[in-house]
Amino acid sequence: MDWMGDDYYLKKAYQIAEEAVEKGNFPFGAVLVDKEGKIIMEQGNVEITESKCTGHAETQLMERASKKYSKDFLWDCTLFTTVEPCAMCSGAIYWGNVGKVVYGISEKELLSITGNNINNPTLDMPSVKVFEAGQKNIKVASAAGEIHFLILEQHKNYW
């Protein structure tokens, strides 16, 4: 299978985020793509409660992926996510050993939408800073164009 391009995978993550909202969760979605371009795992946010604070799409995906795949295999994978991974999710990606992350909108953009919303106390810690603090050369890229604005609108309409 050939790579479909970043927008294709980010649109899939966007659809997963929409499904998360339909299930009563926050609008975040992620997909894991192998080196051939095949989507091997999908994950939306799960219910975040007082007893489960780690329901972010990326953290949940990495928990599942690290049980199913080897670290060597995951290094050649790319995680596509609607929003730049927070510090917790970046840590999960780092420890899970995924070699590349592509996100739709930045944490700063999300913060400008959510403000001080109690349901999304955004950390001002870009994922690249988390990765730079480690010993792995995890590549990070952000979206531009239509998908970027589509994800921005998704969050403006939700929050």
Candidates 51, 106, 96; CA nearest to 75 is 96
Q: Which of 58, 84, 107, 109 is catalytic?
A: 58
Candidates 97, 17, 86, 24; CA nearest to 54 is 86
Does the active-site annotation cover 84? no
Give the Cα separation of 19 and 52 in Å (integer).
20
Give the Cα separation of 137 and 56 in Å (integer).
23
Give the Cα separation of 84 and 105 in Å (integer).
6
- By the 8 A CB rule, do 152 and 105 touch? yes
Element (H, E) at 97: none
Catalytic residue positions, numbered: 58
